[in-house]
C-alpha cells in the first residue's frame, strides 16, 4: 500500500540513498537465503546473509536507525539444548544459514554495546503463511502441505513423520515484530529473544488437517540434507524472557493455524478459478 522500490542489500550506496531520501528511521532487514538454498549455494549465502547484513548494520549505525534483523531456530545446532532451547546457550549451527544468523546476533549486540546501535532481533520459529511462496527452508513442508491438501489431496513429506519443530502463524510473527520494535528500550534485558507459539510434527499437522479434509494422504520420503538440519534444531523454544520483558504472547495454536490456512488458501484458489480438493 505504501511506497515500494527494489533494492539490493549488496549495493550500499543505493541503500544509503533510499534511507536518506525517504527519511527512514526504522529498518527491518529480511533479505536472506534460507537453510536449504543456503546449503545449495554457500558462496551466495555468505554474500547475502553476511556481507548484506554488514551493509545494513553500517547504514543503521551511520544513520542512527532502529534496526530489526530476524534470527531463527536455525541459529542453534546439535550441541544446543533442544527441548526447550533457552535464549542463552551453546550455539554451534551446522548450516551456513545458522552460522550467518549467529553472526548477525553477535554483530548487532556488539554494535549495541559499543556504539549504542538500537539493534533488535527475534529468533523466529518456522513461519507459516498462506500469502507467500516458500523460500527454500527446512520448515517449508508445513506450508506446502496445506496447498497440497487443497489441490491434489496428497503431500509427499521430505521429513520423517515424527520430526518436531517450533512453528508460528505469520500473524503472530508480524505482531511479535511490531510489539518488540515498539517496546521501550528500558524494558529490554536482551537484544535477541526467542519467541514461541507451538511445536508440531508432520504427522500431527496432517491429523489436524484431516479433521477438515479426511481424504488427505501423506507419504514420507525423508531427504537426508533437510532431515539432518531439522534433527539439529530445537523442538521447542523457551520464550519466557520475551513474555516477561515485553509481554509476548502468541494467539494461534495448531487448531487455529490449520483452520486459518485452509480457509485462506481455499479462498485464493476459488478466486483464481482453481479447483479445490
Ligand X SMILES: CC(=O)[C@H](N)C(=O)O
Ligand Y SMILES: NC(=O)C1=CN([C@@H]2O[C@H](COP(=O)(O)OP(=O)(O)OC[C@H]3O[C@@H](n4cnc5c(N)ncnc54)[C@H](O)[C@@H]3O)[C@@H](O)[C@H]2O)C=CC1
Catalytically active residues, by annotation: 97
- Which residue in 11, 112, 99, 111 sits closest to 50, CA to CA? 99
Please give the residue whose beta carbon sits closest to ligand X in the complex: 137
The CA distances from residue 76 to 174, 265, 266, in Å, are 22, 32, 35
234 binds ligand X (CB under 6 A): no
CB closer to ligand Y out of 95 and 241: 95
Residues 119-178 that bind ligand Y (CB under 6 A): 124, 126-127, 135, 137, 139
Residue appearing with cell numbers 520448515: 139
Please give the residue whose beta carbon sits closest to ligand Y in the complex: 135
The CA distances from residue 226 to 146, 151, 202, in Å, are 19, 24, 14
CB of 159 to ligand X, least distance (A): 11
Sole binder of ligand X in the list 52, 77, 104, 126 (CB under 6 A): 126
104 binds ligand X (CB under 6 A): no
| Other Cβ atoms closer than 10 A to 82 | 17
Give the H/E segment covering residue 142.
helix 141-151
Residues 208-237 that bind ligand Y (CB under 6 A): none
* Region at 57 (left for phi over 0; alpha for psi -120 to 50; beta for the rest): alpha
Binding-site partner at residue 235 among ligand X, ligand Y, none, CB < 5 to 8 Å by type: none
138 binds ligand X (CB under 6 A): yes
Distance CA 88, CA 80 (A): 10
Binding-site partner at residue 35 among ligand Y, ligand X, none, CB < 5 to 8 Å by type: ligand X
The residues of the shown chain that bind ligand Y, judged by CB under 6 A, are 8-10, 30-32, 34, 48, 52, 70, 72, 124, 126-127, 135, 137, 139
Amino acid at each position: 500500500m505504501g511506497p515500494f522500490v527494489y533494492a539490493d542489500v549488496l549495493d550500499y550506496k543505493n541503500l544509503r540513498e533510499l534511507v536518506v531520501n525517504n527519511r527512514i528511521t526504522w529498518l527491518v532487514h529480511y533479505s536472506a537465503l534460507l537453510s536449504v538454498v543456503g546449503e545449495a549455494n554457500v558462496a551466495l549465502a555468505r554474500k547475502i546473509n553476511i556481507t548484506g547484513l554488514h551493509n545494513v548494520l553500517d547504514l543503521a549505525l551511520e544513520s542512527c536507525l532502529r534496526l530489526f534483523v530476524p534470527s531463527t531456530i536455525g541459529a542453534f545446532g546439535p550441541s544446543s539444548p533442544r527441548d526447550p532451547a533457552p535464549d542463552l546457550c551453546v550455539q554451534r549451527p551446522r548450516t551456513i544459514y545458522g552460522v550467518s544468523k549467529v553472526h548477525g546476533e553477535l554483530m548487532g549486540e556488539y554494535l549495541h554495546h559499543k556504539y549504542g546501535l538500537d539493534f533488535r532481533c527475534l529468533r523466529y520459529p518456522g513461519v507459516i503463511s498462506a500469502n507467500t511462496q516458500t523460500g527454500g527452508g527446512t520448515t517449508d513442508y508445513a506450508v506446502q502441505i496445506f496447498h497440497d491438501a487443497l489441490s491434489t489431496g496428497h503431500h509427499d513429506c521430505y521429513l520423517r513423520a515424527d520430526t518436531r519443530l517450533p512453528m508460528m502463524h505469520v500473524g503472530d510473527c508480524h505482531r511479535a515484530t511490531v510489539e518488540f520494535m515498539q517496546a521501550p528500550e528500558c524494558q529490554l534485558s536482551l537484544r535477541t529473544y526467542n519467541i514461541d507459539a507451538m511445536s508440531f510434527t508432520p504427522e500431527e499437522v496432517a491429523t489436524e488437517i484431516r479433521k477438515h479434509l479426511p481424504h488427505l494422504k501423506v507419504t514420507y520420503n525423508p531427504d537426508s540434507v533437510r532431515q539432518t538440519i531439522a534433527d539439529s534444531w530445537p523442538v521447542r523454544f523457551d520464550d519466557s524472557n520475551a513474555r516477561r520483558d515485553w509481554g509476548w504472547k502468541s494467539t494461534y495454536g495448531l487448531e487455529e493455524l490449520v483452520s486459518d490456512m485452509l480457509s485462506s488458501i481455499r479462498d485464493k484458489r476459488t478466486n483464481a478459478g482453481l479447483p479445490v480438493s
